[in-house]
Amino acid sequence: MELDFYDEKGKLIAEGIPLNSLDFRSNKNLRKMVSTFRRTVFIDLHALENTLKNGLVGGEMIVGNECKVLGVELEHPIVENKEEIIHKLQEYLATDEITAIEDLLVIKVPMDDIEIACDSVSSPILKTSVALTQSIAEIFDLNIFDGVDLVKTALLGRYPQNVAPNGLLKSFLKVPTKVEGLSSSYRSMSVNDIVALSGKKVFDSVAMAWLLEFAAANETGYSVGWYKRLYLLGFAYQGLNANNLTYELVKECKKGTLYDVVDAVVQKACEDKIIENLDGIYYPSDMPLWNAYAASGQLAATIIECGAIRSAQSVGSIISTYNDLLQILTGLPSVEFGRAMGSAIFMNWLSHSIYGGGGAGVFSGEHVSVKGSRGFLIPCICAAMCFDVGTQLFVPDTTSKNMYKIREALPELHDIHKRIIYSCRGDGDE
């Protein structure tokens, strides 16, 4: 099966691209992209300096730090010695891929380390923390009685007393002990982090979210055998605007309602002979492709509705209502056979009820409320947050402000929608 791919303006990028070129096994450039998420860690040296100066280490609060250790404060000019710290990290980690953006260091550990690591998410954090602790100890002549343990605690939090590092040294993906289920690290980035890292560009946010979700699907076996084509088509149509379907639906229904999008999806599927209407009863000729059409419609509905109100809070209602209407009209399964609708309803309950304002941007794919949908929900939530103009309690500019800086150090993630398509076209990272 071959597809044509279009950008966010409906302009053709590539045509006649084989569907299987989106498979990680055959696309080394896609593997290179996801490796960036695994091997990148970052540290704010200014925050580290202040933390050590005030003894604020080992805290577990999401906002602030409730743990202050008196009598062990360290006053050292860490920011002032940034260049020497970078030089030592390059030596200890055997990497020249360290970028300083103001006081923020973005560090990529070598891919060789990732390949030999049993747990390739935890390894970069732990290895970098050891290298950084040693670097600081050498520069400021610290020994075991002078606060080396405080530096380690500032970087890793209460680990290993805790189940996972929770200090100042951060990574894109959560370590396995912090996620909701086996092999969910690729799904652990929050929506706000993805939105900020993609520069608040709708199609780039959707493509980045789908890249991570598809990587998780490969790791956990969601996309094996029977379901492989389902996810490949979902990635292509909803994630990358295959055959310009999402763009055309938005353009056609931009002044309409949710039902207009549903009706347009059904008409388009009938025209393309994906489904057939026989005396009011719809029959699918290709169920995975019908799911891809429905998923594109779900994204189009999100773009139209959230774009119109410049807010993300209604995204769960949009997704659940769209799928409900689609099932009522056709009698066919909605997106992901009902999982997208069910997860959206649960998300609504949590964000509007017991969480009381958690907001769309704080969810991640492996969160207990939305993890039931695998691939088809989070990209739409990312699109919704791209349109939000500050109506949420938690917005990317506050929860993920460092991601904007980190984005500067990772050009391979810029224009990721087009880059993924270029990689399928055989142009690498063009």
Q: Are residues 125 and 249 in the same domain?
A: no
Neighbouring residues of 287: CB distance < 8 A, sequence distance ≥ 6: 333
Q: Are residues 309 and 170 in the same domain?
A: no
Catalytic residue of the set 92, 259, 355, 404: 355
CB-based contact 146:99 (threshold 8 Å)? no
Residue 67 has pLDDT above 70, yes or no: yes
Q: Which two tokens stand for residue 225?
A: 């055998």
Report in angstroms the alpha-carbon separations of 403 from 122, 201, 215, 228, 360: 20, 14, 21, 32, 18
In a domain, 26, yes or no: no
Mean pLDDT of 304-308: 95
Q: What is the pLDDT of residue 163?
A: 80
Q: What is the pLDDT of residue 358?
A: 67
In a domain, 114, yes or no: yes
Q: Are residues 359 and 243 in the same domain?
A: yes
> Which has more pLDDT, 236 or 167?
236
DSSP for 61-108, please give it. -SSS-----TT------TTTTHHHHHHHHHHHHT---EEEETTEEEEE
Q: Are residues 139 and 164 in the same domain?
A: yes
pTM confidence score: 0.94
* Dihedral, CA of residue 373, residue 374, residue 380 and residue 382, to nearest 10: 110
The CATH number of the domain holding residue 152 is 3.30.70.470
Number of residues that this document lists for the chain = 430
Q: Are residues 163 and 199 in the same domain?
A: no
Q: Are residues 157 and 224 in the same domain?
A: no
Q: Are residues 388 and 367 in the same domain?
A: yes
Mean pLDDT of 34-58: 93
Q: What is the pLDDT of residue 147?
A: 84
Q: Are residues 204 and 234 in the same domain?
A: yes
* Dihedral, CA of residue 115, residue 116, residue 119 and residue 124, to nearest 10: -80
How many domains does the chain fold into? 2
In a domain, 58, yes or no: yes
Percent of the chain with pLDDT strictly greater than 90:
73
Q: What is the pLDDT of residue 123?
A: 93
In a domain, 269, yes or no: yes
Q: Are residues 82 and 107 in the same domain?
A: yes
In a domain, 33, yes or no: no
Active site residue 355: yes
Q: Confidence class of residue 62 from pLDDT cuts 50, 70 and 90?
A: low
Q: Are residues 197 and 163 in the same domain?
A: no
280: Cα separation from own chain's centroid:
40
Mean pLDDT of 241-248: 98
pLDDT tens digits for range 340-368: 999 999 888 877 665 555 688 988 998 88
Q: Confidence class of residue 60 from pLDDT cuts 50, 70 and 90?
A: low
Mean pLDDT of 113-119: 90
Q: Which of 243, 96, 74, 231 is nearest to 155 (CA)?
A: 74
CB-based contact 40:108 (threshold 8 Å)? yes
Domain holding 137, by residue range, is: 39-178
In a domain, 2, yes or no: no
Residue 404 has pLDDT above 80, yes or no: yes
C-alpha 233/C-alpha 210 separation (Å) is 11
Of 87-96, 160-169, 259-268, 310-319, minimum mean pLDDT range: 160-169
Q: Are residues 241 and 346 in the same domain?
A: yes
Mean pLDDT of 15-35: 93
In a domain, 19, yes or no: no
The CATH number of the domain holding residue 370 is 1.20.840.10
Boundary (domain end) residue, out of 131, 152, 178:
178
58: Cα separation from own chain's centroid:
27
Residue 70 has pLDDT above 70, yes or no: yes
Residue 149 has pLDDT above 80, yes or no: yes
Boundary (domain end) residue, out of 153, 178, 203:
178
Q: What is the pLDDT of residue 430?
A: 45
Percent of the chain with pLDDT strictly greater than 70:
96
Q: What is the pLDDT of residue 42?
A: 97
Phi-psi region of 390 (alpha: psi -120 to 50; beta: other; left: phi over 0): left
- Mean pLDDT for the chain overall: 91
In a domain, 61, yes or no: yes
Q: Are residues 143 and 190 in the same domain?
A: no
Which among 175-179, 276-280, 324-328, 395-399 has the top mean pLDDT? 324-328
Boundary (domain end) residue, out of 149, 178, 207:
178
